[in-house]
Structure 1
Amino acid sequence: MPCFLRLFVCLLLACLSQAAPVHAQTNQHAVLLMSEEQSDEGKVMPIPAAVKTLLRYLEQHSGITFDVRRYPWKRALENAENGEGLIFGISKTQERLRSFKFSQPIFTDLSLLVTRCDSKFVFQSLDDLKDKTIGIVRGTSNGDKFDRLSNVLFKVEDDTNNNSRRLEKLYLGRMDAFLLYSSTNNISQLEKRLNRQYAAKFATQFTTNQTKEKLFCILPKPVSSMDIHIAVRPDLDQGLIQKIDRAIARAHQEGELARVYALR
């Protein structure tokens, strides 16, 4: 092979060897842990359309491909603490700030009290929950003050993220209310949807007059309003949160997050 050709081949190989790592860095793969909700049959329900849309957008604009793994929330949180990967849907608490690096807020979730309409109560502050039993999804936070007063001012009933079973507990009187997590401000619409979706299951246990009324009521004042993030253990970050933050900022600017909220 002529000298000039050998030199050309060597230079070409050198360029290719330098280009490969750059390409790999722009297409990071990351495990993303998420909460799962199960149906009455015990099957994991599909990821909501709004969340799928959001994840596709974040992947496209962050250069990160998510390997989504779903668990009951408490286990997802523990696995993230143990370093399995990023976690989606997490709110900040003083304790979690010591364990995780957080993205910018993606959306805001309200913690809303669901009661039986025939035994609803007035809620203006946490003092109104005194001596009541409140259902929460195991491992979730509803603000530092609520968490601190749990099983002190009021009793907590730990649940899985299965709304049908939680409503059954409520109907049977095992709790006075449970916390439903939603980003919507249209409480009336959410209440109608909840009754439309689940009330039929209990219809045979109510009289004809009762079934004409709402079975379940959502109290208008939320227990808390929590910003929701993606987070990861700081030692495993590797620039992931910075890339996700840039994608979140772009989603805000382009109105993508507003469109996602409309689907929730």
Structure 2
Amino acid sequence: MNRGIEREEAASTPAGVTRRGFCAGAALSPLGASRAWAGAAQDAQPLQIPLALSEAVDPQFVTPLLRLIEQPARIRWTLVPVPFSRLLMMVEQGEAMGFGVSPTEARAARWRFSTQVFRGAVWAIGRRGQAVQARRPEDLRGLTVCSSRQASYGADLDDAARRPVETEYVAGDLAQRLRTFQAGRCDVLLVTSRNASAATMRARLRAAGADAQALVIGERPLVEEGVHFAVAKDSRFVDVMPRLDAAIEARRLRIGQMARE
């Protein structure tokens, strides 16, 4: 789930950034690439790794988080912000490592996941005075839901959307999605957060210009899922995962503090 990490401004992907991230190993065969990565692990210089992440992430949280993990992992990320569907494709094709993905049975068969980085949440926001109480994904049945095409809201919510849930996709940042929601185009607005704290969610809405008196936050998140790094099992980046896991554990306390802030 690209969850808990929505950005306030949409990012764009600079042309050619992906190709630049691959130059270190693009000409190698799979066997040669694997040996090259293993040998580079012994070098003092950090490995340059392309990292696909959703355009919907909040850079004020995610960028410091990724930089925190770089040093102990001896990694230097080349960040490639893309729509979430493109992120999944890049991981599947071995073009990049992915960030903000939650394991599913289908993905686990083909991908290697890092240890959990933090636990994200998805909240249902309603308008005060409306009798809308969404406590679980199934409660969205029959409602019009405002969401972003740039983010994933988790397998449970995707399943709920296939029962009959009408989705109103809204472009732009959270402030723009709030304006669309408050104009009455949908019954519920889905918003992701980096933790399961309602206070954090309220603060995020206020920062986006929401009228706190006009909105109602669910009693608890609709969904909570772990956020991970992911890589295809046949990717040249797979050998980096053990050291990435070790770096996450080494920074576990600070990551937890950042996610709660």
- Among all aligned residue pairs of Structure 1 and Structure 2, give the percentage whose two residues are the same amino acid: 23
Counterpart of 2:100? 89
Deviation at 1:21, TM superposition (A): 5.9
TM, length-normalised to structure 1: 0.73
| Matched AA of 1:47 | P
Counterpart of 1:3? none
Deviation at 1:173, TM superposition (A): 2.0
Count of matched residue positions in the alignment of Structure 1 and Structure 2: 222
- Which structure has more helix as a fraction of its residues? 1
Counterpart of 2:213? 214
Q: Is the 8 A contact 1:32 1:86 kept in 2?
A: yes
Taking the aligned partners of 1:32 and 1:195, their CA distance within structure 2 comes to 30
Aligned equivalent of 1:169, options 161, 164, 180: 180
Counterpart of 1:62? 73
Aligned equivalent of 2:50, options 31, 45, 67: 31
Counterpart of 1:242? 242
| Matched AA of 2:246 | R
Q: Is the 8 A contact 1:31 1:85 kept in 2?
A: yes
Once the two structures are superposed, residues 54-90 of structure 1 have per-residue CA deviations (whole angstroms, 9 ceiling, x without a partner) of 2122111111111111123232233332322011111
* 3-state DSSP of counterpart to 2:103: coil
- Farther-moved stretch of structure 1 (240-249 vs 80-89): 80-89
Q: Is the 8 A contact 2:196 2:224 kept in 1?
A: no
Check if 1:223 corresponds to 2:259: no
Counterpart of 2:259? 261
Q: Is the 8 A contact 1:93 1:141 kept in 2?
A: no
- Farther-moved stretch of structure 1 (235-244 vs 101-110): 235-244
Q: Is the 8 A contact 2:118 2:226 kept in 1?
A: yes
Matches within 5 A, 1:68-217: 68-119=79-130, 121-138=132-149, 140-160=151-171, 162-199=173-210, 214-217=213-216
Taking the aligned partners of 2:141 and 2:98, their CA distance within structure 1 comes to 33
User: Residue 120 and residue 247 in structure 1: after superposition, are their counterparts in 2 closer, same or farther (change >3 A)?
Assistant: farther
Taking the aligned partners of 1:229 and 1:70, their CA distance within structure 2 comes to 16
Deviation at 1:133, TM superposition (A): 1.4
Taking the aligned partners of 1:58 and 1:28, their CA distance within structure 2 comes to 13
- Farther-moved stretch of structure 1 (153-162 vs 218-227): 153-162
| Matched AA of 2:221 | P
Deviation at 1:98, TM superposition (A): 3.5
* 3-state DSSP of counterpart to 2:48: strand
Q: Is the 8 A contact 1:191 1:217 kept in 2?
A: no
User: Residue 171 and residue 195 in structure 1: after superposition, are their counterparts in 2 closer, same or farther (change >3 A)?
Assistant: same
User: Residue 47 and residue 102 in structure 1: after superposition, are their counterparts in 2 closer, same or farther (change >3 A)?
Assistant: same
Q: Is the 8 A contact 2:53 2:98 kept in 1?
A: yes
Taking the aligned partners of 2:163 and 2:123, their CA distance within structure 1 comes to 20
CA RMSD of aligned residues (A): 2.7
* 3-state DSSP of counterpart to 2:135: coil
Q: Is the 8 A contact 1:131 1:153 kept in 2?
A: yes
Deviation at 1:251, TM superposition (A): 1.4
Deviation at 1:166, TM superposition (A): 1.6
> Unaligned regions of 5+ residues in structure 2, if any?
1-38
Deviation at 1:249, TM superposition (A): 1.3
Once the two structures are superposed, residues 6-46 of structure 1 have per-residue CA deviations (whole angstroms, 9 ceiling, x without a partner) of xxxxxxxxxxxxxx967548632110111224xxxxxxx97
Q: Is the 8 A contact 2:132 2:187 kept in 1?
A: no
* 3-state DSSP of counterpart to 1:66: strand
